[in-house]
């Protein structure tokens, strides 16, 4: 059961705003709760507070940062089911998937707790010529300063965690703007952070409109902007000025199934079903394009078609539900329109069905035109395409024929093919033996091309949130 109202958090303290925002139950479409809606003035106050907290956060001892993160791990565990139910309601995520995301939230904070006392550094040998004799060099990493974070609706807990936890471990104050459609999880995280001894101003979580969040992009007191969302991120980067910017902007993920996939086709189908339709395909690394070798294409196609048709759609609160609602009616209608346009262009629908509000049955298509939106853009819905290939290098070329490059999957029992995929695929990560949707929270995660720049994964995010500082001593 959700609380009746959730406040914002400004400089570590709960604050109620004059305006409120309704948060909808994504399955029923009815109001689930209300949250305070901050204005531009509140966002500026949060930035000022974070800027004043820079020195205190930098001086906050590593063991104290670790203790804060471990407190969060403990409290997330104690409030596990509350977090999962909130996620199920505000995001429409099937309850089993919601519990999985809470587990990843805990994992991410636990990883960050370990990194908090692990300060990377280097001793440099400077005596490379007679003029440098007697000099010694050392490099350490120091907090970059104020960070602003903007997160999307689809992983309201774990994508927040991948920004907040590394910032605390690095010693950076931050201001977070969670998605307006799914802010509850972030506000519960803030509530738990408020129980700790973080310095005043170390964190603010403000739910606000895109217009009122402009200062999070443009204010020069912010040292780093980390944005996860759509291609609008490139516009934000252009407005960000001199600050460092990291972006994760989505994908158009492909999966190759080789003639020898290195596993049974039943296992491949099971993983493709997960990768393509998990949380209604609303994931940046959802499987969208499947390339299957001609030798196994018909068999794989038949098995996939049967498996997709069996997926159960319905109330995300039910343990048996696999396909829940999409975030709103407009998102579901867009995907439905893309499917209809592809079908008009010659595609064949192997599985699928009519939309009901924001509920869209899982769909599988073949013979999809390569110039269609369904093929070229990020669908971000429960739909996948499948087509055959004869030559492995041709399949690699088709994967690369995309404006995006986040992750790609390759099922192959051929080591040479696996290594060639790693060498040639223009993506941030190549997953061999599984779908591109695989992610563990300590691995480097991010993309190339339109998919963004920079990497998440706690240690890699900490690198972006810190700067090198050199010390030279003449002895």
Q: Are 107 and 115 in contact (CB under 8 A)?
A: no
- Collapsing DSSP to helix, strand or coil, 350 comes out as strand
Identify the H or E element spanning 392: helix 392-400
Token pair of 403 as six digits: 């404006």
**Among 90, 101, 248, 366, the one annotated catalytic:** 248
Identify the H or E element spanning 186: helix 184-193
Look at the block and give the residue holding tokens 């999962």.
84
Identify the H or E element spanning 55: helix 54-59
Measured distance CA(458)–CA(310) in Å, rounded: 37
> Does 208 qualify as catalytic in the annotation?
no
- What pairing do the DSSP bridges indicate for beta strands 224-228 and 19-24? unpaired
Q: Are 292 and 388 in contact (CB under 8 A)?
A: yes
Q: At how many degrees (to 10) do helices 184-193 and 62-78 cross?
A: 130
Burial of 105 (0-12, 13-18, 19+ CB in 10 A): buried
Q: What angle do CA 116, 217, 405 make, to 5 degrees?
A: 75
Token pair of 22 as six digits: 């309704």
CA dihedral 446, 452, 456, 460 (to 10 degrees): 90
Q: Are 222 and 54 in contact (CB under 8 A)?
A: no
Q: Is the dihedral of CA 166, 167, 168, 170 positive or negative?
A: positive
List the one residue out of 27, 38, 36, 14 whose CA is nearest residue 87.
Answer: 27
**Among 101, 284, 336, 378, the one annotated catalytic:** 284
Strand partners, 456: 445
> Does 248 qualify as catalytic in the annotation?
yes
CB atoms within 10 A of CB 345: 15
Measured distance CA(264)–CA(37) in Å, rounded: 51
DSSP sequence for 412-452: -S-HHHHHHHHHH--SSEEEETS-TT---TTS-B--EETTE
Backbone phi and psi for residue 34, each to the nearest 5 degrees, phi listed first:
-130, 150
Q: What angle do CA 110, 116, 120 make, to 5 degrees?
A: 125
Measured distance CA(163)–CA(288) in Å, rounded: 26
| Catalytic residue IDs | 248, 284
């Amino acid at each position: 059961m959700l609380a009746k109202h959730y406040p914002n958090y400004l400089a570590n303290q709960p604050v109620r705003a004059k305006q409120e925002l309704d948060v909808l139950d994504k399955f029923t479409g009815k109001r689930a709760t209300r949250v305070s809606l901050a204005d531009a003035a509140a966002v500026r106050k949060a930035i000022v507070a974070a800027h004043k907290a820079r020195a205190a956060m930098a001086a906050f001892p590593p063991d104290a940062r670790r203790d804060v993160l471990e407190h969060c791990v403990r409290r997330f565990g104690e409030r596990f089911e509350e977090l999962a139910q909130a996620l199920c309601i505000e995001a429409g995520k099937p309850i089993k998937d919601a519990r999985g995301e809470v587990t990843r939230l805990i994992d991410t904070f636990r990883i960050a707790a370990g990194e908090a006392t692990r300060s990377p550094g280097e001793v440099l040998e400077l005596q490379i010529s007679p003029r440098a004799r007697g000099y010694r060099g050392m490099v350490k990493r120091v907090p970059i300063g104020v960070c602003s974070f903007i997160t999307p609706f689809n992983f309201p807990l774990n994508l927040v965690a991948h920004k907040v936890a590394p910032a605390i471990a690095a010693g950076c104050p931050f201001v977070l703007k969670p998605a307006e459609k799914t802010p509850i999880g972030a506000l519960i995280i803030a509530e738990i952070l408020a129980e700790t001894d973080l310095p005043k101003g170390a964190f603010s979580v403000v739910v606000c409109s895109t217009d009122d969040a402009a200062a999070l992009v443009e204010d020069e007191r912010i040292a780093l902007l980390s944005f996860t969302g759509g291609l609008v991120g490139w516009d934000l980067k252009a407005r960000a000025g001199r600050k460092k910017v990291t972006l994760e902007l989505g994908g158009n993920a492909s999966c190759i199934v080789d003639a020898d996939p290195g596993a049974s086709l039943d296992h491949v189908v099971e993983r493709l079903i997960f990768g393509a339709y998990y949380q209604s395909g609303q994931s940046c690394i959802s499987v969208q394009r499947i390339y299957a070798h001609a030798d196994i294409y018909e068999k794989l196609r038949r098995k996939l078609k049967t498996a997709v048709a069996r997926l159960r759609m319905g109330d995300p609160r039910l343990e048996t539900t696999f396909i829940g609602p999409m975030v709103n009616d407009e998102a579901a209608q867009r995907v439905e329109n893309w499917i209809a346009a592809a079908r008009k262009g010659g595609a064949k629908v192997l599985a699928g069905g009519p939309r009901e509000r924001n509920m869209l049955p899982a769909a599988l298509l073949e013979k999809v035109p390569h110039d269609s939106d369904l093929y070229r853009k990020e669908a971000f819905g429960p739909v996948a395409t499948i087509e055959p290939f004869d030559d492995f290098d041709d399949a690699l070329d088709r994967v690369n024929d995309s404006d995006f490059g986040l992750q790609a999957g390759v099922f192959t029992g051929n080591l040479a093919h696996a290594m060639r995929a790693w060498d040639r695929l223009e993506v941030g990560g190549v997953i061999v033996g599984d779908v591109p949707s695989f992610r563990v929270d300590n691995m480097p995660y991010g993309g190339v091309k339109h998919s963004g720049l920079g990497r998440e994964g706690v240690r890699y995010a900490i690198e972006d949130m810190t700067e090198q500082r050199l010390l030279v001593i003449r002895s």
